[in-house]
Structure 1
Amino acid sequence: MIQYNPPAHDSLKILYRDASLLVVDKPAGLLSVPGRGESKQDCLLSRVQAEFPDALIVHRLDMGTSGIMLLAFGKAMERALSILFQTRNVHKRYVALVTGQLQQACGEINLPLMTDWPNRPRQMVSLEQGKPSLTRYRVLDYDVSMNASRVELEPVTGRSHQLRVHLQALGHPILGDELYASAAVCAQSVRLLLHATFIEFPHPLTSRQIAVESKAPF
């Protein structure tokens, strides 16, 4: 079981804010929402609600993933933003460092995913029972000394652990991934090297396109 040691709470890194919604930069190692037990109550949502009591979660990032998260102020905005996610009107991009050199400079990973029930929270590829899952990728750079590629990822669908499982299935798991990488690849980083770097969506009240970026810290 992965030990929960959340990073120190200094101050929220706010990337965008208006009267309806908030975009913040989540640090790696912090839960998006409270977990089970008293020791897992410290999370991004609780830290945000300490300053903005009516803030509500619209989507989540894995504990190990850092980067952009969108929150709503109030139930009505939460519903409006949730609909944008459901109708795929929210566009997100991530950056990851993965092991090895990818054969193609860009491409798609189209593999259906489902929960690996005996090994939860792990997910798995299942051609028979999995839900349709699509990830687009583009190689940004290759580091010979590390034998690692920097990859930009665009999840078209939003399955749990989608990027991590798809990259593992491609043969290039993310460095520092305790669930899906080998022990050697996991040991190459003290954290999961996956960062939510970009989000764009039409504002539910004005239809104005909101675009926010966050540079990967690795």
Structure 2
Amino acid sequence: MVEDKVRYHVSPHHDGERVDRVIAFFSGLSRSKVSGLISKRLILRNGIPIRKGSEIVHLNDEISMPNLVGEAVEEIASDESIDFEVVFEDDSVIVVCKPSGLIVHPGSGAANGTLVNGLAAQFPDLREIGDPTRLGLVHRLDKGTSGLLVVARTPEALDNLKFQMQERHVHRQYFAIVAGHVESNKGVVDAPLGRDPKNPLKRAVINSGKYARTHYEIDQKYESPFKVSMLNCRLETGRTHQIRVHLAAIGHPVLGDDLYGGRTSFNIENRLALHAQMLTFLHPKTKNLMNFESPLPAELTSMKDIFR
């Protein structure tokens, strides 16, 4: 018998976050779907209807909401033309490598032509997993970022991998080319991130933002044709635009990042110099440690070779 309600309890990781983000994380629903349920007063926090998605949750709060299993939804269109690499697949998970320029899932301004549309064509079974617009996606990459993503192939795998993300057991490392010479060979940017009050498309370091922490280590420095540093960056948290905002905040924006001040005039490949190169997690079924590495794509290698 399917329960008519589902319930979640807020973990330490989500203490202090917006309630709509927490619900979207646990339920797999899109933020717009969550917003619709909130507006109808169908989601409760500690037995009281939630009135705004911006309400803040606290440790051990109980969130209850309708069980939407079996509800009719608009089906994602399959698109066999979407280009992406399948790095690994079994009956529980799929690991893919996304090219720069490809949006991960449908959203505002992008109904089709996304990675999810390509996944729907190649792995139709994903239509039964999680949010019907995200098809098992565990995390995302910005449009301009290339590299590794993990996709769950069963509801159990999705829950497990989301829990690993929540507990920060998923290791994600990125390669970045940034403007200027970073002073310290290694360091940590520990600065809260939130929506930029001056530009809703951007994130910014703000005191009222969410906890965010990025580790970096210098791989190489070059002088010509202008000073750059090549970094390996590791996410401790996974906020929107986190690496881009943190590096810009310390005066070293990612090359090709016109949103956050990265130099673009030399960038003949017209892409963001950011690549998700390593991904490590525990297999949700076998519990084996899964390690994946993605070499730099040709256009980033060409960009790297410019510098001496």
Instruction: Give yes or no for TM over 0.5.
Output: yes
Q: Is the 8 A contact 2:84 2:115 kept in 1?
A: no
Structure richer in strand, relative to its length: 1
The yes-or-no answer on 1:32 pairing with 2:104 is: yes
Larger radius of gyration: 2
Deviations 1:101-138 (A, max 9, x none): 111110110111111144122000012x0111110000
Structure 2: 5+ residue stretches without partners: 1-79, 127-135, 301-308
Deviations 1:63-99 (A, max 9, x none): 0100001101132221111111011110000000000
The yes-or-no answer on 1:115 pairing with 2:206 is: no
Task: Tell me the residue number matched to 1:130.
Answer: 209
Match of 1:76 among 153, 156, 168: 156
Cα RMSD of the aligned pairs, angstroms, is 1.6
Task: Tell me the residue number matched to 2:125.
Answer: 54
What is the identity percentage for the equivalent residue pairs of Structure 1 and Structure 2?
37
How far has the Cα of 1:36 moved from its partner?
Answer: 2.4
Q: Is the 8 A contact 2:93 2:153 kept in 1?
A: yes
Q: Is the 8 A contact 2:99 2:146 kept in 1?
A: yes
Q: Is the 8 A contact 2:195 2:203 kept in 1?
A: yes
Q: Is the 8 A contact 1:137 1:153 kept in 2?
A: yes
Match of 1:211 among 291, 294, 308: 291
Counterpart AA for 1:171: G
Which consecutive aligned stretches of 4+ in structure 1 deviate over 2 angstroms post-superposition?
A: 8-12, 186-189
Task: Tell me the residue number matched to 1:188.
Answer: 266
For residues 93 and 158 of structure 1, the distance between their equivalents in structure 2, rounded to whole angstroms, comes to 11
For residues 188 and 238 of structure 2, the distance between their equivalents in structure 1, rounded to whole angstroms, comes to 15
How far has the Cα of 1:176 moved from its partner?
Answer: 0.4
Deviations 1:129-156 (A, max 9, x none): 0111110000001121131111000010
Structure 1: 5+ residue stretches without partners: 1-7
Structure 2 length normalisation: TM-score?
0.64
Structure 1 length normalisation: TM-score?
0.90
For residues 61 and 13 of structure 1, the distance between their equivalents in structure 2, rounded to whole angstroms, comes to 15
Deviates more, 1:116-125 or 1:155-164: 116-125
- Size of the alignment, in residue pairs? 207
For residues 77 and 88 of structure 1, the distance between their equivalents in structure 2, rounded to whole angstroms, comes to 16
